[in-house]
Amino acid sequence: MGWNSENVSVLIGKTLLNIENSHDDEMAFITTDGDRFRMYHEQDCCEYVRIEDICGDLNDLIGVPILMAEEVSGYSGEFESCEGDGTWTFYKFATVKGYVTIRWYGESNGYYSESVDFHQVS
């Protein structure tokens, strides 16, 4: 789409109205001031990037300001099942109600991106 991915830290100080999590490869964060942010990966051949785990209750992020929003990622090395790359990405969020960590994992043959995109869409 030609967008540059934003840093999730843009959510700090914003209050979320809703989080939509209907698939293992996309989430949407809707703020009380009408902004919508999309966290996703545009899948290509020879790669697969997905949400592996959500630690914490997403409801803890609703209705109160976001105090922490950060991304941490790293390389996991080669897979046992095939030659290729693996990248994990953790998104850590906090409010006064609690902490939530969203863990993404991507694998590919080494020629495709395993990164997660985060964009404001409205």
Full-model pTM: 0.81
pLDDT average, residue stretch 47-59? 88
- Residues 18-33 have pLDDT tens digits of 999 877 889 999 999 9
Q: Which residues contact 68 (CB under 8 A, 6 or more apart)?
A: 12, 92, 93, 94, 99
- Domain segments of the chain as ranges: 8-120
Take residue 99 and report the two structure tokens written for it: 């902490």
Question: For residue 84, is pLDDT > 70?
Answer: no
